[in-house]
Chains A and B, each alone.
Chain A
């Protein structure tokens, strides 16, 4: 039973256009959300995060939007560049019964930016 879902396994976007990656979650106890980017043969790299008390966080070309009522977040990349081609993972954090913060990941969306 996946608590964090990325329903689009892949996405293709033209260079210079906007890329929108979506993520849905089911557990209302998640209070912190992150996006990671992963190139082949490398580990995931932290990209941007957002606390559940906010609905938007921006960092350069990357903006994350959070809609708590819909349990939905999205990552916008604008303008998209060929170097953005990677797999993007959505992750959500909550505190476990043992008191540790745990990340739950989606399966990822492979973004291809076409020159």
Chain B
């Protein structure tokens, strides 16, 4: 499915670096999400944006900073990450926030050295 595109697909960074993950959706949806999937753990919701406003922050450390400039784009800015932040980061979008399926991108595999 190419409706939700994430870049880069892989990222290796040091703990002092600053980088950003990008997500773009072409589905006309108005809600976007960031998830984290660590090894042997279920997907964990990080942030929810609805109509470009952040409506949920699930106790995510401040070294992760989301940005939603418009309904089609979502960024996750990273700085001074820790080795335990190495994971697959998935972006998703949905039409509205009601009980609608979320559509996922293919994720960014992040490795912190």
Contacts and interface: CB of A to CB of B under 8 A. Distances in A.
Interface of A: 2, 4, 31-32, 34, 36, 41-46, 49, 51, 89, 93, 96, 98-108
Contacts of B52: none
Contacts of B42: 2, 4, 89, 104-108
B106 A46 contact: no
Contact of B97 (A41, A101, A108): A101
Given A98-B56, A99-B55, 5 more contacts: A46-B101, A96-B56, A99-B97, A100-B55, A102-B45
Q: Which are the 5 A-B pairs with shortest beta-carbon distances?
A: A43-B104, A32-B99, A46-B101, A105-B43, A105-B42
A49 B42 CA distance: 19
Interface residues of B, number: 24
B61 interface: no
Contacts, number: 59
| Chain B residues touching A, majority SS | loop
Nearest to B48: A100
A43 B105 contact: yes
Contacts of B56: 96, 98, 100, 102
A99 B31 CA distance: 13
Contact of A41 (B55, B92, B106): B106
A44 to B, nearest CB: 5
Nearest to B100: A101
B76 to A, nearest CB: 15
